[in-house]
Structure formats: C-alpha cells, structure tokens
C-alpha cells in the first residue's frame, strides 16, 4: 500500500487504477468487492459486502474538487442495490455543495485527508480492530459538526417549502429569472414525470411540462437552449437521441 504521508502516486493513476487500489484497500479490511456494470451504471463503481452489511462506493480520481453530483450518483446506486451505507472516495476534496447534500442524505465523504487515514487503518495488523463501518460513522459525525451553507441548500431545493417558480418572473419583477430557480424547477419536472424511477425522459414530454411555465423557461427555443446549457454543465445528459436524464 502507499505511504501514509504520500498520495502523489495515486494522483498520477488513471480512474481505473485508482479504483483497483481502493478495491485492494477494502479487501485488506475484510470486504468482498463486486464491480458494477459500467455500461448501465452511472452511480457507484463497486459494492462492498461483509456478512449482511453492504456498502455502495463511488471512487473518483480527480484533479478538481467534487460537486454535489458525486453524491447524487451514489445515492441512485444505493437505492438500486439496497445498501446500508453510501460512500464517495476521492484523492481530492469536496465542495460545500457535496458536503451539504451528504449531510442530509447520510452519505460518507472520504476526501484526500480521510483516505490517508483509511489507508492507515487497512495497514493495521490482522489482530487489530479494523472496523470500516465505525470509521465511516466517525467521518460522518465530523461532517455533521460543520456549518451548513444555507445558500447551497437553497440551490439544492432542500431548505424551503415547494414554490411554484413560474410566479417569479422577469416580467413581474423586471429582471431575469435566476438560473438556480430554473435548475430546481427542472429537477422537480423530472420527479413529476418519472417519480422515483431513474428513467430517461423523452424530450417532447419534457418540453410539454416546461411549457407550463412560460414565464420561467420562455419559448420552446429558449427551453431548448436552456437544456443544452444544462448538458454542457453536466446537470443532465442525453443517453440517446431525443431523451434526457439527470446526471
């Protein structure tokens, strides 16, 4: 395993090599590992199991700090595979948007600093206590102690009652509708169309729902431009022609 004081070797690996390193690390902690089907899975990279306890794990070797989408992805997989805990591991750090969503959704975030501690834990002798679950609980407890960013919660749509943002218009207030409000409404539209299922949505159906809020999304052309912007920002993606899904 790598030195407790140095992750530079991991920083220079590929995403697959980073994942393989994490698999070996968990094996030293006594967990069996199943790699998920990447052709169909947009969430976790692997499922860990020890007795009847199952963890959904997403590994991300990244040169930039991770956003809340990393938390969203592992949550989708956690529900699909019925895991008891969701974990995101990176060689970098997490932005406050990821931390806030992780607190609310009970996701464990293992950043660069915690990864070093996890490596240290895995390197303990066999007769020492190497309790991964307790380690993860301690990580969550430390995160809970941090202050919640109210503005980011607002962006995620988690701090206020449901509001029909079609009433917040540029006509009535004389200004452009904030982009975050449009994003939040788009999330609600996906939820309204497909419920809790992680299904792709036909673009015509999506446009029909967006047309209900003309003062928010504007014309059909403006709606198309907005969706293109969301694709470019990795908020949504097109799994196939004429279909959209949340990242």
- pLDDT per position as a tens digit, 193-245: 888 777 889 999 999 888 887 767 877 888 888 898 888 888 888 888 889 98
141 plus 182 within the same structural domain: no
105 plus 197 within the same structural domain: no
Residues 6+ apart with CB under 8 A from 232: none
**CA dihedral (188, 71, 38, 31) positive or negative:** negative
On whether the CB atoms of residues 188 and 157 are closer than 8 A, the answer is yes
By residue range, what is the domain housing residue 218? Answer: 161-246
- Tell me how crowded residue 53 is: count the other CB atoms within 10 A of its CB: 13
CA neighbours closer than 13 Å in the CB half-sphere of residue 215: 12
The total number of structural domains that make up the chain: 2
Question: What is the DSSP secondary-structure string of 109-125?
Answer: EE-HHHHHHHHHHHTS-
CATH number at residue 213: 1.10.10.10
N- to C-terminal Cα separation, the chain: 33
Q: Give the mean model confidence (pLDDT) for residues 98-112.
A: 88
The rounded distance, in Å, linking the Cα atoms of 146 and 156 is 18
pLDDT at 168 over 50: no
SS3 content of the chain, % helix, strand, coil (to 5): 50, 15, 35
When mean pLDDT is compared over 10-14, 121-125, 126-130, the highest value belongs to: 10-14
Residue located via tokens 């003309």: 214
**Residue 67: predicted pLDDT:** 87
Tens-place pLDDT, residues 37-55: 654 444 567 888 888 888 8
3-state DSSP assignment of residue 85 = strand
Query: Which of 94, 134, 122 is closest to 29 using CA atoms?
Result: 122
Q: Which of 95, 129, 149 delimits the end of a domain?
A: 149
Q: Which of 97, 126, 149 delimits the end of a domain?
A: 149
107 plus 185 within the same structural domain: no
104 plus 218 within the same structural domain: no
Query: Does some domain include residue 51?
Result: yes
The pTM score is: 0.56
94 plus 121 within the same structural domain: yes
pLDDT at 172 over 50: no
Tens-place pLDDT, residues 55-68: 889 988 888 899 88
Which residue(s) pair with 110 in the sheet? 89
Q: Which of 126, 149, 172 delimits the end of a domain?
A: 149
CATH number at residue 122: 3.40.1350.10
145 plus 190 within the same structural domain: no
Q: What is the mean pLDDT of the chain?
A: 77
């Amino acid at each position: 395993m790598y030195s407790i004081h140095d992750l530079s070797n991991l920083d220079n690996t590929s995403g697959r090599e980073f994942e393989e390193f994490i698999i070996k690390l968990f094996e030293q902690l006594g967990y069996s590992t199943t790699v998920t089907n990447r052709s169909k899975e947009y969430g976790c990279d692997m499922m860990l199991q020890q007795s009847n306890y199952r963890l959904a794990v997403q590994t991300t070797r990244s040169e930039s700090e991770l956003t809340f989408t990393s938390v969203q992805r592992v949550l989708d997989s956690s529900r699909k595979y019925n895991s008891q805990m969701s974990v995101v591991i990176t060689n970098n750090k997490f932005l406050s948007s990821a931390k806030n969503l992780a607190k609310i959704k009970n996701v464990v975030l293992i950043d660069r600093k915690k990864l070093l501690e996890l490596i240290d834990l895995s390197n303990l002798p066999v007769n020492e206590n190497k309790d991964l679950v307790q380690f993860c609980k301690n990580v969550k407890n430390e995160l809970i102690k941090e202050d919640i960013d109210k503005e980011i919660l607002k962006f995620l749509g988690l701090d206020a009652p449901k509001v029909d943002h079609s009433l917040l218009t540029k006509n009535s207030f004389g200004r452009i509708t904030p982009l975050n409000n449009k994003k939040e409404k788009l999330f609600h539209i996906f939820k309204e169309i497909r419920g809790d299922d992680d299904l792709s949505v036909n673009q015509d159906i999506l446009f029909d729902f967006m047309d209900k809020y003309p003062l928010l999304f504007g014309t059909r052309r403006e709606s198309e431009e907005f969706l293109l912007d969301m694709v470019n920002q990795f908020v949504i993606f097109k799994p196939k022609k004429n279909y959209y899904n949340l990242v």
